[in-house]
Amino acid sequence: MFGANHFCQTLQPMVRDKNLTGTNPTEPRDVWFSTSMDSNEMNGLANNRTSPCMLPLVIRVALILSMVASGIAAEPPGLTTSGDGTLQLRGKPFRGIGVNYYDAFVRSLSSTPARSIDPAFRALATNGIPFARFAACGYWPVDWALYQTNRSEYFTRLASVVNIAEKHRIGLIPSLFWHQATISDLVDEPLDQWGNPSSLTIDFMRRYTREVVTRFKDSPAIWAWEFGNEFNLPADLPNAAQHRPPVHPSLGTASSRSKRDELSHDMIRIALTEFAKEVRRHDPQRLILSGNAFPRPTAWHQKHEKRWGRDSAPQWREMLLADNPSPIESLSGRLYSTNDLASLPWAVDATRTAKKPLFIGEFGVPGALTAESLAQFRQWLEAIETHQVPLAALWVYDFDGQSADWNVSSDNSRAPLLRLIAERNAAWRAAKSDASGSK
């Protein structure tokens, strides 16, 4: 939502629309910590102010060796996929709806004092919201100034987000490269260098990915790694010259744009592949996500014929699969419009073919809540239920930047949306518990 659409909002033929009293469920222990630990060990970790990812290496090694000596196999960390494409959390089948906490980290990069995220994470935990997707990076090039000048402080602030999530047992999906143009602008290259594995853009991407993954891969809060936000939407636009990335030199962007700043599907697929390969060098198991929206209804014709033309179901599925290349073992999409809703059955067919679980990375309704918008939101939830989508995230939580249209918090007028998600999660947990008890 807050990315490709930022400069592609008027494209044709498709225009994308974009006192909590919920339950207070007790999270099953196996949702968060390894079931190989006894209750005292788990409580000790939960109450320890030191992040598990910050434990000295010798202690972590000793714990692993102790488990091996006891004949206990360590469970895979975070979200993973089984051989048949089933989404798993800590090695067990999982379904859940979380939120997009876009600026949980970004706000800490501001020169003005940032409002604490701790109360908002506490509210998520209280209402059984299991995870948050967030931008683990700056949006504009200027937002990367701290990373470039004081990397230690930069990662201390990112670690604070991870530690708060651990404290409240909320999973995290960090998205590492939110805005398509930012990294290329930082290294003074055009955007077409996302498609060059030897470029400065890709080199920067690999380095930052390595730094983030190696720092935080031992945290139980990290559920998955995501590349960026909706890189596929500006790809191969027939009117691309009218929708090049914005030029704001005061924010660190290039001073001008050219044809070389027009992305193609081939470019983004190379970037996604290189990102996933870098993640796998350091984290062999956790789920990797593209962060893409569903393909446009005209994406195949855009790529192959450079024109708007309605894609058939096979053409659309071809684009969806190719835009989530291996070793990315998931498919990503959005649920904002009737186009998205109509595409959902095709996406589900693709998940079965590819054996990759589907992540609806953003869904929601804009504006003041009315009977009509609440009905629309319930329709999105029913679609997620009916099509057995295992993972989805509401856009957007505790984000003042979109308070007029999208922001949902535990105490604003849009709080009922959070309550509906809490109820859905509670129902899924109860169904899982009943299924386990009947075995």
Q: What is the CATH number of the domain that holds 409?
A: 3.20.20.80
In the chain, the amino acid numbered 43 is: N
pLDDT at site 52: 46
Domain tally, the chain:
1
Rounded Cα gap, residues 109 and 150, in angstroms = 12
Distance of CA 117 to the CA centre of its chain: 18
- Consecutive 10-residue averages of pLDDT for the chain (439 residues): 45 34 31 33 38 51 53 76 96 98 97 93 97 98 98 98 98 98 98 98 99 98 98 98 98 98 98 98 98 98 98 98 98 98 98 98 97 98 98 98 97 97 96 72
Cβ-contact 210, 151 below 8 angstroms: no
Q: Is residue 327 part of a domain?
A: yes
Residue 372, phi then psi, degrees to nearest 5: -70, -45
Domain presence at residue 380: yes
Beta-bridge partner residues of 362: 334
Compute and round to an integer the Cα radius of gyration of the chain. Answer: 21
Phi-psi domain of 365 (left: phi exceeds 0; alpha: psi -120 through 50; beta: other): beta
Q: Take residue 166 and report the two structure tokens written for it.
A: 């651990």
Q: Would you call 15 helix, strand, or coil by DSSP?
A: coil
Place of tokens 């989508």: 389
Q: Please indicate, yes or no, if residue 37 is contained in any of the structural domains.
A: no
Neighbours of 382 (CB within 10 A): 11
CA dist 308 and 302 (Å) reads: 6
pLDDT at residue number 314: 98
How big is the CA angle at 277 (ends 146 and 225), to the nearest 5 degrees? 55
Cis before residue 13, ω within 30 degrees of 0? yes
Other beta carbons within 10 Å of 439: 4
CB contact at 8 A, 200 and 187? yes
54-to-69, 171, 184, 231, 348 alpha-carbon distances in Å:
24, 17, 32, 33, 39
- Give CA–CA dist 178/156, Å, rounded: 20
Per-residue CA distances from 218 to 8, 91, 165, 244, 334 (Å): 38, 16, 14, 39, 29
Q: Say what the pTM is.
A: 0.86
What are 8-64's pLDDT values in tens digits? Answer: 433 333 333 343 333 333 332 233 333 233 333 333 333 344 444 445 555 555 555
Q: Which residue has the tokens 């209402």?
A: 127
Q: Is residue 85 part of a domain?
A: no
Residue 230, in any domain of the structure: yes
Domain assignment present for residue 47? The answer is no
Domain that holds residue 340: 4-29+94-437
Closest CA to 343 of 322, 319, 365: 319
